[in-house]
Structures are given as C-alpha cells and as structure tokens.
Structure 1
Amino acid sequence: MFSRRTRHRTRGVAALGATLLLGGVGGATAQDEASIRDLPLAATRSVDRLAVTEDAPAHGMPPTAMREAAPAPGTSCLPGEICYELSLAYVTASLFNPQTGDSDDVRLRAYVGAVDDPGGQVPLVAPVVDIEPGRTFRLTLHNELPTVPEMVLPGGGPCVATTTDPNVPSCVNFNRTNMHSHGLWVSPAGNSDNVLISINPGVSFTYEYNIPPDHPAGTFWYHAHLHGSTAPQVSSGMAGPLVIRGNRAPVRDAAGGWAVPGDVDLLLPASDADGLAPVRDRILLLQQIAYACRDAAGQIKTDADGTWRCDPGDVGGVEPGPVSAFDQLTPASWQNSGRYTAINGAVAPRLPDATAGAVERWRLIHGGVRASVKLRVRRMTGPDPSQPVPYADIARDERDDFVAENCDGDRVPVYGLATDGLTRPTLDERTDTWLQPGYREDVLVSFDAPGWYCLINGRVEDAEALNADGTESVLIGRIYVAEAAAPVTGSAEERIVDGMVEATEARLDEPARSAVVADLGKGRLAAFVKHRPVEDGELTGDQSVAFRIYNADLRPGMAQIAFEIGELGVDLATGGFVVRNAKPYDANVIDRPLALGGVDEWLLTSLGGGGHPFHIHVNPFQIVDILKSSRTRSTRTSIRATAPPGSTSAAQAIRTRRSTQT
C-alpha cells in the first residue's frame, strides 16, 4: 500500500469500488494486469498495437521505427536515399486519466505510418526516423483530415472562415499543416524544412531532407509547424523522434586540438559485438495531450473546481471551441485541465524495466507546448511500492504530498551528455533536468540498486514556469530496476566513465585514443563537440526581439489570443522590459535581412500573459547570459536590461553565426 492523505474534494464521476480500473493505452482491470488486448480502431485510420497492461496503466512502449516506403508518384529513391510515408488522420485510442483511475476514449489528429515492429505503431506517437549523416530522406505527408466544409465543430456548428490571418485563432487552422524537422541543419526553403508552406486537407506533399555529411549525430524530432496550427496539432500528439546516429572517429590536429569532431555514439555501444557492455538507448517523448470532452453546446466539461471532466461514453479531443477557437489552448488551459504529461503516448506509465548497474542513454524530448518539465528520478518508498499507484485517490492538491511521502528515497543522479542534439563539452551531473517545449536533453543513467523508482515532474515555481504559473510535483511514471547478475560496484559516474573509456580503447586509434581517455578522466567530451564557442572578437552585430502574447478580447470570459513580435525595449518609468514596434507575424515579410557570414548577439524575451520558448530553426546558438538584474550586456549590446524587484521578466543573450557551417 502507498501512503496517501484523505481526499478533500468531490469528483465529478462516481468513486470507484475495490476493483481499481486501470488505464493507459488499452486499459485493463487490476485482475487483468497480464492481459493483452487490441487497441480500438480509429474512425478514419487504425493504429494497431498490442499493449501490455502490467501496471496501472500500460507500459510506456518505446516509439517504433518508421519503415521505408516506395517512392511517391513523381519522385524517386536513389541509392543511399530513404523514402518514408506518413498520413495525418484522426485516430482513436484510450488514455489513462489519473483523475478517475479509468481510461478516457479520445479521437485525435495523429501521424500514421508503417513501422518495423510486429506489434505495430505506438498510438499518438509518430514513428521514429533513424538516419545517418550524409543521407537524403524523402517524407511524403498525406493530409487526410476533413476540409473546412466537412468540419463539424463541438456543438454541431460548421467551421466558418471569418479570417485568413494565421495570427488570429480560427477553426480553419486545425486541419491545415506542414512538417518541421526540428534541429536539423538542412535547407529551410523549397521542399526541405520549409515551415512557411501549408498542406491543406486532401493534399499530399513530399519533403526532401539532405543531411550534410558532417551533420552531428544526436537527438532531434519532427512535428507540425504551420503558424496558427502548431498548438492544436502538437497538443494532439503530432510529433515524433528523429535520431541521427554516427560512428565517426575524432581527428586530432597538429596543435593538439580537434580538427574534426567525432560522434559520441562510438563510446556508447548498442551491442556487445566488440566485447563491450551495451548501453541501452531509450527515447522518452514527453507529450502534453490537451484533450477535453464537451457538452451538447460544445462547452468544455469541468468539475466544480474547473478541472476538465470526461463522462462515460464521452470521446475527448482537441477541437475548436464554438465561440473561442483556442479555448483548449490558452496559457492557463493546461493547468486547468488537470492532465498529466505523457511519456511515449501513455499517461503515468510503467516504463520497460532497467537493470541495476547497467548504463542507459535516455533521449528526452519535450514534445508538448504548454508547460515546463523538471524531470527527476527518485527511489520509491512505502510498505509495498510494487502495488499499482492509486491515482484516483490522489486529489489535485495532494499530488505534491503523495510524491513527498512515496518518492522520498535516494535521488538518482543523471549525467547530461547532449543538449538539443549537440554533445556537451563536459558531462554534467544533475538530479533535475529542465525541459521547455521543443527542448531535448540526452542523459546517461545507471541505477545503483534494484527496486522501484519514480519519474517525477518536480515542483516548478511561478518565476520558473513557462506561463508564470507554477506547478506541484507530480508522479508521471515508474520504472522497475531488476537485480544485476553480478554485484554492482562503484558509483554511477564511475560506471559511466569506465564504460566510455573501455569503448574508446577498443574503437579509437592513436593519437585520438589517449587524448579522449585523458579527457574522460576529467569528464570532458571536447573531441565530440561540433560547434566552437562564439568569442567576443567575432561579433559583428547585435539584435533584439520580444514576443508578446495577450488576450485581444476585452469582454469578460472571452479569450482571443493574439501574438506579436517586436524589438526589446525598456520602460523608463519602471525599468521593466517592453516590446517596441510590435506587429503580428507576417510570413510574406522579411523583417531583418542579414548578410551571410555575420555573427550576432541577440537579446530575447517574451512578454504578456503567456511565455514562449525561443529556438532558431537550422542554425545552432549559444546561450551566453540570462539577465534578471539591472546591468548592461558587455560587448556590442547597448540595451540596459533591467528587471524591477520581484519581477519574473528576464532576457536571454544568445550568440549565433550566420553561416552554412560553423
């Protein structure tokens, strides 16, 4: 049994009896923990996957690898190229609802594709794209969603196109789409990573991504990215992992540095083919699937405290509201919903087991849009941690208490290996891993002892949160660590570094071998870092940009979210940040023509009722400062960055090279 406090509120659904209903993808009762059952078929397309429901809810199945397809009509797949096909369609599935301890049926927009797995595709998770540097892959995307005249909104009304402005939320945007290969160093034009095109319902489009031969190996992802459509589609789960794997050895230069960086994958063997201990490679796609159930009038159903509710027979979805199209997607909606961050399409899953002492690589991808994630792993305590977690007995205001009482064992350190697909200069020991929407972190993990462990989304304070709205700690998953065949020795750091040293000695030649071994003894990964830091002397210009997200509808209870972009300024009266020359985004206007070869330092901030993470498509960037106090950036930046006492506003200073290679 777990330690828990008495609930303080009445739920909007009947309390469950002694038989706890379990959820996840294809839920089962406690008596059916070992059963295997088919997923329900989708209304438009089916995703066939056998879900093993062992824990309360199902296992967090790892994402499945996409299968190569025949070239689309009018295209070809040349030797060395890979062709894929994906359909965008409605899919039905079940998601565990911790509020009730039962599963909710959902009908969501999702990517559907053939996969190399006899169990089929994991629902609500796009297939994994695995590729090597120097390859070309073509992805044909078929938009099978309803056209605007075919759309029926919650409440039964039609979709009426009142505007063509993508900055104004509209029902029209829910079924238009495109594809973004997030983080790849490829062309952003034509039929490559072009986020300015629109693939309308009934249209197929073939993307061509030419991966450069010197592209770094790492963790990336792909997702819908049409301006005005991204939030509802990614909030439905329209995202998938994209992994570039490499086996290039680093090359020393005459000065004792690194002429050509290598791939850190070489130090993390996938198998024991070289007599090395294999490193398990896990992909953990974190999703914030913001589904809601609606009443006959199309309004979101809620409990008395505002938590979103689904009644028996309801089918949840992410759909335009009959009055405010984005009523499910406001800055406060994720908090109001009471939903949990999912892992690989499953809510509160038990992940596939680990083994004590073994080293694992966890590829963490924040594929949500609404909330910050502070991931931590702690040993589970209590009289019998092996029992299913009684989620339905944990009220929203008791989630933090439950974690404190039942996940208060040893903190498991993890070692940061890569950030946003790029290998870090040093291994970074931590117990908390921060992720904002779109971010990726690769960490190395090695458990000291067998037992049950909690995956926790730690408490986030208001000043730290994406939308300045903090969250309590919540248990988002569990993992069982099995006993090792031999006694576990050394610390996690020692096991990780020792394994990397052994791989270095087996796989690298001199003089690189000795240099890498020496670096690893100090936790350094310099031989595998693609991009050198931007030095002060390189800077040729400075820029600033501020996003502003606000409610443009002043009527009580109404929400008309507006998005504007401008330059960063300072309010002389308060010293706080303001946006100057703000205007709606226009894909047809290039606001900042910049010369190739320049090197800029930018100041960035996000103002208004909702935060917004920053990233640059294609070119990498270096964070050099976070400003929350009254001071001026050094080098060329002239803005005096000031934040009033107690203010949560802040600006980031970043540097980036305007080049095709750095």
Structure 2
Amino acid sequence: MILSRGAEAQHQHPAPPPPPLQQTQAQPRPTSHPHDHAAMGLDPGPVVEPAPPAMDQPLVEPEVRQSVKGVLQTTLACRYAYKNIGGQRLYLRSYEGAPFGPTLRMKPGETLKIRLTNDFPPNRDPMPANMAIPHQFNNTNFHFHGAHCSPSGIADNVMRSMVPGKKYDIEITLPKDHTCGTYWYHPHHHGGADVQMASGMSGAIIVEGDFADVPEITAARERVMLMAQVVFDAFGMIENFSTLFPETATRFLAINGQRRPTIDMRPGEVQRWRLIGSQYQDDMMLELERHDLHVIAYDGIPVRNMQSMKKLLFAPGQRADILVQAGAPGTYEFRALPHDQGHPSPVGPLARVVVSGDSMPMKLPARLPKPPLEDIKDSELTGGRTLVLSATAPEADAAGHWQEFSFLIDGKSFDPHRIDQRVKLGAVEEWTIINTHEHDDHVFHIHTNPFQVTQINGVPQKEPLWRDSVIVERKGGSVVFRSRFLDYTGIFMLHCHMMNHEEMGMMQTVEVYKE
C-alpha cells in the first residue's frame, strides 16, 4: 500500500516476454561460437531439453538463512523468473528467482536486517483515483506476518512503497519475550500484493525455541511447507487481475512450488510439519489419508493441549504446526478435500507420503507445556468495538466482471489516507467481527498484536485459541476475540486475508496511539 501518490514517474514499459507454455518445447542451446556447426556443414537444429518430471519428486524445502550473534542480515531480490511447476513453465514474479523465498530462522530478541532490491520493471499504469482497483503490480514492500513488533519506520511498516529500480533497508527487532513458532513474510503493497503472492512471493520465518523441553517434538524431523494455489494465464504469467479473481481460477495446488511432491517417512516415525497458508485466496480442507493430524501450534503460538483430528480447515494467512506419525508401509495422499466457503474451495493432491524402510518407533508427546500467553480475563477489558464485513456484487454474481464487485468493512472501501480504528496504547479490548456477506466466508487478520478467540457464531470456546487470522463465516457468521494493544504505537492494517478481497477494498487502518 502507499501513502503518497505520484512519487514515481510512470513510463510505458513492454511486458516481459511470454514463456513457452510447456517445458517440452524446443529450446536453442547456445554454443561457444555461432558458426561452429555451419563450418562443418551440419545444422542439427534446436536441441530439445528433457522436461523435468511434473510430480512425485522428493519434497524440496527452501534455502535456510540463519541469524548469527543476534542478527539475521540478508538480502532479498524481487525479480521475474522462470518457474517449472507441475509440468508448466511459468514466468512469474519471485524472491531470489526461486519458487518461494528463503526460510529465515531467528530467536526472540534478535534483529532481522534485509536489503531488499526491487528489480521489477517500471509500472505501466498510473496510480488510480480509486484505491480499490488493483494497480501497479511492480511496487512492493515487506510484511513479517504475525510478528509482535514495531509497525513504523523501516520495521514491519506496510505503508512503505518500494518502487522498481531501487534498494531498501528493512530492520525488525523482536522483543525478548516474543512467542516462538512458525511465521512468514510476504509483500503487502496495496494494489499489487495479491498478484505477487499468487506468483509465489512468500517465505517462512521460524522464531526458534518452542517446545525445547519436549523431547518427542525436538526429535521429530521438521518440514517447512508453503501451501499454494497455482494460477496463470495463457502465457504462463499473471499480468492482469482477471487472472486471479474468478472463483475457478486455480489450476492446481502445490507445496513449496512443487506439484504433488513425495514426503518420505519410516513406519512409526514422527515428523513436524510447519504448514504455512501462503495460498492467495481460498481455504483448504486438509487430510492425510489414514492418518491423524496432531496440531501443536496455530499461527506461531503453541496450544494448551495437542489437538488430534482427521481434517484441518486451513485458511490463507494461517499457520499450523502438526505432528504426523507414519503408519504401516504404503503410499498415502495428503490432499485438499471439498469445502464450501460460499464457493467451492480448490481440491486435489498436495503431496504423497511414502512410508517405507525399517521401523522408527517414536512417540507423540503425552502433554504440552503451559502456553506462552495468558488468557485475557474479563477484569482486564478496557473497551470493545464491532466491525462488519460486507460486499456488493452484480445480480448475476457468477458472470460478473471483477470491477462490478466491492468488498467493504463497516460499509467503506479501503483508503490509506483514512484512520479507521484508533486504540490507546495499553488498551485491552474485545472485538466482534460480523460477516453479513451472503456469498463468501472471509478471513480476518490484524497486524502487530495476536488475539484470543472466545466465541465463534455465538458459541463460547471451551479452549480459547490465540490466533492472528481467523475464518468468519458468511450470512451473519461472527467471531469474538480479545487482544492486548501493548508495546507498540503506529499505524498498521486489519483486512481479509483472502487477498482478492483485500485488494478490492476489504481493509482498514488501525492506529495505536500514546497520549
């Protein structure tokens, strides 16, 4: 998003060249001299490169970058790159030219320092008068999703505008008592964040130290898994918002930029899967065939009691740390099942779990440590407020053009120049989020401060969970939560993390102020 308009001179710039649709098409191979073969009277023609297998390759996890002596100092380059995903050769925006960004590992109290380079070409469109129209897809910035840290200056400030052709410094220091767990980063520049995230511009941040005293968890092999909906146009690109908005836009699902990779396990082995909801738009109903999913943390915050389930509803923006204990030798599908979120969520295989080899008898933890955050009691509350999520749509919803829709909070579309919610530093508030939209669920997310969910659709929660992103069901669904607005002043965002909805107006500014 952006506070000032017209800061960058706009020029017409040709779109990047479209790639071939299939990896199997012929690609010329350069030689040391352009006439080597002609001199011999031979012309072998173009060399056909073998296509990489589309599926069933071992799961590849992103590169890891680790803090040293209290600082994680690194670079991030934003640029176009060819990505081979599921047999498709795509030309998309990226971090570091990779399917997903590197995994950043740090500890509470440490500082993340990034020199971000925006190597995208100049924007081809001017800043629109209506900020709810997706625009200027090559501006970017950086959001540390879920972090309790400063939203100001060069920290986790999503009001910054990082324009093409320039370098920017980011410096985020976590408090010493920050919760340990699974977090992530992604662009948050209003207008182009949806396009960039749908292209795979996101990465994991691991704040180390959770469950350090639980040997059953520390012994488990970790897997970082960024969930994705793969989407592209006829040229293998995302250059128009209409590529993203139809409810049937998703081509297939992927993990870490791979279509149906293979996850190897041994019988009885326990693995810790750090699931990151980097999908740009839709919920996923997750299931691992003939296995339970044992949740030990949500949104980077450990739970009080391990939750074992057959299916896990997983929304964009959320994280879930789950333990998986392999059963008998065989091959099992990790997949997304049908789910009605007002429109059908995408379905299909995510990975194959292949259990083989010698037995590795491991145990699940009998109990978990005390959670890091204290429950918010009635006596702490200093106030509250209610927010209403809504939308407008054409009469023939399914046939409408995206410009006929609008997504609103309290009847208003996002305006970066307006402060929507003012909260005094030190306040402890109870918020009610109501979704009056008839057709879609929404995913409420707020920056800087996590919240404790106490009611869903009017039903008190037996074990109130700490989250930073939560589903609010359509047709009058509601969520009640409590949050402490401590430590940091400044301006930050609340919005729907179904990024099509955020981009089209379902976002507000929050200002925490100190008198």
- Relative to total residues, which structure has the larger strand share, 1 or 2? 2
For 1:350, which of 262, 273, 287 is the aligned residue?
A: 262
**SS state of the match for residue 200, structure 2?**
coil
Q: State the distance in 1 between where 2:217 and 2:432 align.
A: 41
Match of 2:364 in 1: 496
**CA apart distance, 1:542:** 1.3
**1:355: Cα distance to partner?**
1.2
Per the TM alignment, residue 455 of structure 1 is displaced from its structure 2 partner at its CA by: 0.3
Give the corresponding residue for 1:559: 402
Q: Residues of 2 paired with 1:85 and 1:628: CA distance? A: 46
1:39-78 equivalences in 2 (<5 Å): 56-66=55-65
Q: Given that residues 23 and 51 in structure 2 are in contact (C-alpha distance below 8 angstroms), is that contact kept between their aligned partners in structure 1?
A: no
What residue in structure 1 maps to residue 306 of structure 2?
427
Name the counterpart of 1:640.
none
Distance (Å, rounded) in 1 between the aligned partners of 2:474 and 2:229: 28
Partner of 2:369: 525
Residue correspondence of structure 1 range 177-216 to structure 2 within 5 A: 177-216=140-179
Deviation by residue 1:426-468 (Cα, 9 ceiling, x = unmatched)? 11111112210000000111112221111011221x2xx2xx1
Alignment of 1:357-396 (within 5 A): 357-378=268-289
Which of 355, 371, 375 is the aligned partner of 1:481? Answer: 355
Unaligned runs of 5+ in 2: 1-21, 31-49, 461-471, 489-515
1:367 touches 1:438 (CA, 8 Å); kept in 2?
A: yes
In the alignment, the residues of structure 2 paired with residue 192 and residue 142 of structure 1 have an alpha-carbon distance, to the nearest angstrom, of 16
CA RMSD, 1 decimal: 3.2
Please say if 1:168 is aligned against 2:133: yes
Equivalents in 1 of 2:474, 2:175: separation in Å?
44
Q: Aligned residues: percent identity?
A: 28
The alpha-carbon deviation at position 565 of structure 1 amounts to 4.1
Distance in 1, Cα, partners of 2:400 & 2:252:
25
> Counterpart of 1:375 in 2: which secondary structure?
strand
- Contact 2:231–2:250, Cα closer than 8 Å, also in 1: no
Counterpart of 1:128 (choices 103, 110, 122) is: 103
Match of 2:253 in 1: 341
Report what 2:447 is aligned to.
617
Deviation sequence 1:307-329 (CA, Å, 0-9, x none): xxxxxxxx401112xxxxx2122
2:275, 2:320 within 8 Å by CA — same for their partners in 1? Answer: yes
- Assess, with a 3 A threshold, how the Cα gap between structure 1 residues 52 and 564 changes in structure 2: closer, same or farther: closer
| Mapping of residues 82-101 of structure 1, within 5 Å | 82-96=72-86
TM-score, normalised relative to structure 2 = 0.77
The residue type equivalent to 2:134 in the other structure is: P
> How far has the Cα of 1:591 moved from its partner?
2.2
The match for 1:11 is none
Counterpart code for 1:163: P
Aligned AA (2:483): T
Q: Residues 138, 647 of structure 1: CA spacing in aligned structure 2 closer, same or farther, 3 A cutoff?
A: closer
For 2:224, the equivalent position in structure 1 comes to 283
Rg (Cα) greater in structure: 1
Equivalenced residues, count: 434
Is the 1:53–1:59 contact (alpha carbons within 8 Å) kept by the matching residues of 2? no
CA gap of 1:550–1:452, structure 2 versus 1, over 3 A, is same
Q: Tell me the secondary structure at the aligned position of residue 341 of structure 1.
A: strand
- Give SS of 1:219's match: strand
Structure 1 residues 146 and 432: alpha-carbon distance in aligned structure 2, compared to 1, 3 A threshold: same
Deviation of residue 656 (structure 1)? Answer: 0.6
User: In the superposition, relative to structure 1, how do residues 268 and 420 fare at CA in structure 2: closer, same or farther (>3 Å)?
Assistant: farther
Distance 1:549 1:647, change over 3 A: closer
Distance in 1 separating the partners of 2:51 and 2:222 = 21
Kept in 2: contact 1:547–1:563 (CA 8 A)? no
- TM-score, normalised to structure 1, is 0.61
Structure 1 residues 566-577: aligned runs within 5 Å = 566-567=409-410
Which structure 2 residues correspond to residues 393-432 of structure 1 after superposition, within 5 A? 411-432=290-311
Residue 647 to residue 131, structure 1, CA distance change in 2 (3 Å): closer
What CA deviation, in whole Å up to 9, does each residue of 1:400-440 have, x standing for no partner? Answer: xxxxxxxxxxx211211000000001111111122100000
Q: Kindly provide the CA deviation profile for residues 338-385 of structure 1, in whole angstroms up to 9, marking residues without a partner as x.
A: 52221011112223x11111211110001012111111111xxxxxxx
Q: 1:162 and 1:132, CA in 2 relative to 1: closer, same or farther beyond 3 A?
A: closer
Q: For 1:228 and 1:206, how far apart are their aligned partners in 2?
A: 21
Answer yes or no: is the 8 Å Cα contact 2:384–2:430 preserved in 1. Answer: yes
Q: Is the CA contact 1:27–1:58 (under 8 Å) kept in the aligned structure 2?
A: no
SS at match of 1:584: coil
Is 1:142 paired with 2:117?
yes
Whole-angstrom CA distance in 2 between matches of 1:197 and 1:140: 14
- Distance, in Å, in 1 between the alignment partners of 2:480 and 2:217 is 38
Amino acid at match of 2:142: M
